[in-house]
Amino acid sequence: MIETVIAVVGAVVTVGSLVISYLAHRHQVQRARVLDQREARLQAREERMEARARAADRRQDMTQASMIETSVTIVPSGIHEGLATPHLKITNPTNQAIADLSITYDDRRITDAPRGLGPGARRLVPLPVTTTPGDDPARFLVRLVVDFTDAAGTRWRKERGMGLRQGATGRDGEQLWLRSEAPIVGPVAVPDSPPPPMSAPEP
């Protein structure tokens, strides 16, 4: 009888130990899961913060280049009726100059283009082609490539009046262009001329 009681007590103790071990293990697993989830949330938060910081840096890098505006306007000839010349209109509405300006139309570089563009400046550059006054300016804009260097010394390329491509230097020193990116800000309007001064009211 005593041996039976001892065996039962031993079995109960063994089962109790197993239950306690299981509960302790379960608690450790749950705690580890909570810690892993917390660590994953912290890591995801850090990654989001780093991504926002990189995006902010990129926006700052692209700000001036994004604001450079290019468009084409058709200027009728003052001599030959029915003829016109497309002109590239390039505007720098920022408060810093751009340099090393290079304009290419249909793979032909326009040699009489300005070398740079000062703050708030606008230039009309005639393209080496003639057309009619009612022609669509867009068909000339898509053939244009404008390269320039911003105030930070970064080289940029604007193609077809749309996307921006940042310049890079290859291993052999050749000029490379990175993938096209959308401008981060739209063009800023620059008045053609300052408004006239206000006159004093008559007595």
Task: Let me know how long the chain is.
Answer: 203
Range of the structural domain that residue 121 is part of: 64-177
C-beta separation of 102 from 148 below 8 A: yes
* Domain-embedded: residue 21: no
Would the CA dihedral through 140, 141, 143, 147 be positive or negative? positive
Cβ-defined contacts of 161-167 (< 8 Å, 24+): 161/70, 161/71, 161/72, 164/62, 164/65, 164/66
Domain presence at residue 6: no
196 in a domain, yes or no?
no
pTM (2 d.p.): 0.66
Paired tokens of 198: 């206000």
CA distance 55 to 112: 37
CATH number reported for the structural domain that contains residue 139 in this entry = 2.60.40
19 occurs within a structural domain: no
Domain membership of residue 190 (yes or no) is no
Domain count, the chain: 1
CA 74 to CA 17: how far, in whole Å?
92
Does residue 161 belong to any structural domain of this protein? yes
pLDDT in tens, the chain (203 residues): 676 656 655 666 676 676 787 777 777 888 887 777 777 777 777 777 666 665 566 677 889 999 999 999 999 988 888 899 999 999 999 999 999 999 999 999 999 899 999 999 999 999 999 999 989 999 999 999 999 999 999 999 999 877 899 999 888 989 999 999 988 875 544 444 444 444 444 44
Task: Say if 203 falls within a structural domain.
Answer: no
Q: Is residue 20 part of a domain?
A: no
Which residues on neighbouring strands pair with residue 85, listed in sequence order? Answer: 75
